[in-house]
């Protein structure tokens, strides 16, 4: 069973994808695949951020 990546690991992976795309050293097919992977990661990271924000908000309300 594969271990899920942490938020930080996913961010690093997304940064690596962006750097590869910006380098211009990747052919078109690979660029499209990287772009797709980047979009998936970005969506997952946004979901995680919403969960984190919700947890923080609930913690703040509990401490009021």
Q: Where are the domains of the chain?
A: 30-58
* pLDDT, tens digit, 9 for 90 and up, residues 5-54: 999 999 999 999 999 999 999 999 999 999 999 999 999 999 999 999 99
Return the structure tokens found at 18: 């962006």
Per-residue confidence (pLDDT) for residue 1, from 0 to 100: 45
* pLDDT, tens digit, 9 for 90 and up, residues 39-50: 999 999 999 999
List CB contacts of 41: < 8 A, sequence separation 6 or more. 10, 13, 14, 17
Decide: 45 and 14 in contact? Cβ < 8 Å. yes
**pTM for the full model?**
0.80
């Amino acid at each position: 069973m594969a271990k899920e990546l942490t938020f930080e690991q996913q961010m690093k992976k997304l940064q690596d994808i962006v750097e590869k795309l910006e380098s211009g050293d990747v052919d078109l097919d690979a660029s499209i695949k990287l772009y797709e992977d980047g979009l998936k990661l970005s969506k997952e990271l946004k979901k995680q951020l919403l969960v984190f924000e919700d947890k923080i908000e609930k913690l703040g309300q509990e401490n009021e």
